[in-house]
Amino acid sequence: AQSVAQPEDQVNVAEGNPLTVKCTYSVSGNPYLFWYVQYPNRGLQFLLKYITGDNLVKGSYGFEAEFNKSQTSFHLKKPSALVSDSALYFCAVRVSSSNTGKLIFGQGTTLQVKP
Amino acid sequence: DAGITQSPRYKITETGRQVTLMCHQTWSHSYMFWYRQDLGHGLRLIYYSAAADITDKGEVPDGYVVSRSKTENFPLTLESATRSQTSVYFCASMNSLSTGELFFGEGSRLTVL
């Protein structure tokens, strides 16, 4: 069965410092991996994805993520955090061979960036 | 560029009543999904649809019914609402399996008293 784990309920970081939000996954087959961000009372917004190719993926708002097949991880990173990055972040996965497109989501990590 | 819209955004109902949450997308995406978001559970898939007239169950389908007579609409019906169905419901669409990312609506917050 597919699953996604986000081991931290909350990550706190000071503005200007680098941030990492962790994600590990379990699938049978090649994964498609995604990061989404959710601001209060809003829907989820797509940040970036890994389908194939370069393990380092760059996305919106200066975020990037690194696909690590051996560690089955897809951690979200940003070199310099902004207060406006404070939000709820979700990692999601599906098997590349899936014919349904269903994404399995992690439980989410709240990122708090303090001035 | 309307995208994907959900209505109502907020709904309060009573146990046993029927409730329908609407979802409309303007992109003609083939795939559509309904998720519910609950604290501690993240997002869980209720139902999905690969095309008009094709629907299938997700992870938590009990108590819900969907239909998809037109590509652009994917309503979710709670036939007899229960308190455990108090949640925030998100509709999403996807253009193709090769691109993969979902586009979400703003959500419908449902409270069942």
More confident residue, B12 or A28: B12
Sequence-ordered strand ranges (E) for B1-113: 4-7, 10-13, 19-25, 31-38, 42-51, 54-57, 64-66, 76-78, 87-94, 103-104, 108-112
Q: Which residues in chain B have Cβ-Cβ distances shorter than 8 Å to A41?
A: 107
Confidence of residue A59 (pLDDT cuts 50, 70, 90): very high
CA B102 to centroid of chain Cα atoms: 13
Is the bond preceding residue B8 a cis peptide, omega within 30 degrees?
Answer: yes
Region A31-51: what's the mean pLDDT?
94
pLDDT digits (tens, 9 = 90+) for A64-104: 999 999 999 999 999 999 999 999 999 999 877 777 888 99
Distance between first and last Cα of chain A = 41
Q: Do B97 and A106 touch (CB under 8 A)?
A: no
As a whole number, the mean pLDDT across chain A is 94
B110 touches chain A (CB under 8 A): no
Q: Do B102 and A44 touch (CB under 8 A)?
A: yes
Mean pLDDT in order along chain B per 10 residues (113 residues): 89 98 95 93 93 94 96 97 97 88 95 97
pLDDT of residue B2: 65
B88 touches chain A (CB under 8 A): no
Q: Do B102 and A105 touch (CB under 8 A)?
A: no
B74 touches chain A (CB under 8 A): no
pLDDT of residue A8: 96
